[in-house]
Amino acid sequence: MIAALLLTVLLAVLAVFQVALILGAPIGHFAWGGQHQVLPTRLRVGSAVSILIYAVIALAAFDRAGQVDVFPGAFSAVTMWVVFAYFVLGIGMNAISRSKPERYTMAPLCLVLSVLSFLVARL
């Protein structure tokens, strides 16, 4: 349960970050390859989709931890393993970013998210 809660808290922080990007905050060097200070419309849409994905991940984590019953059968178990793989991939993708701020913040954050999602997936 603690891992699911920590995972959700970090996803909520990321959601706030994505909202800031959507609203035009000049922090784009931390996201989407770091090529834009202020995101263009297509990447703002991507940030909005990211927030929806974070919400599904949080629901799956709490479902897997037995705190809610939202998804049928083994859906949350499979989903959390997919989420784990997604965050492991995110470590590599952020680590090779041309943007130093993205490399030095998002790669370690993905590492933490991957460990937490692994712990939730193993429940």
Residue pLDDT, tens place only, 87-107: 999 999 999 999 999 999 999
- pLDDT number for residue 73: 77
User: Are 120 and 3 contacting, i.e. CB atoms less than 8 angstroms apart?
Assistant: yes
| Mean pLDDT, rounded, of the chain | 95
pTM to 2 decimal places: 0.90
- pLDDT number for residue 107: 95
Residue pLDDT, tens place only, 25-43: 999 999 998 899 999 999 9
Q: How does 67-99 read in b/e, with b if 16+ C-beta sit within 10 Å?
A: eeeebeeeebbebbbebbeebbebbeebeebeb
| Residue 1 pLDDT level (bands cut at 50, 70, 90) | confident
* Domain assignments of the chain as residue spans, ordered by start: 2-121
- pLDDT number for residue 84: 98
Dig out the tokens for 57 from the structure.
């991940």
- pLDDT number for residue 123: 86
Residue pLDDT, tens place only, 12-25: 999 999 999 999 99
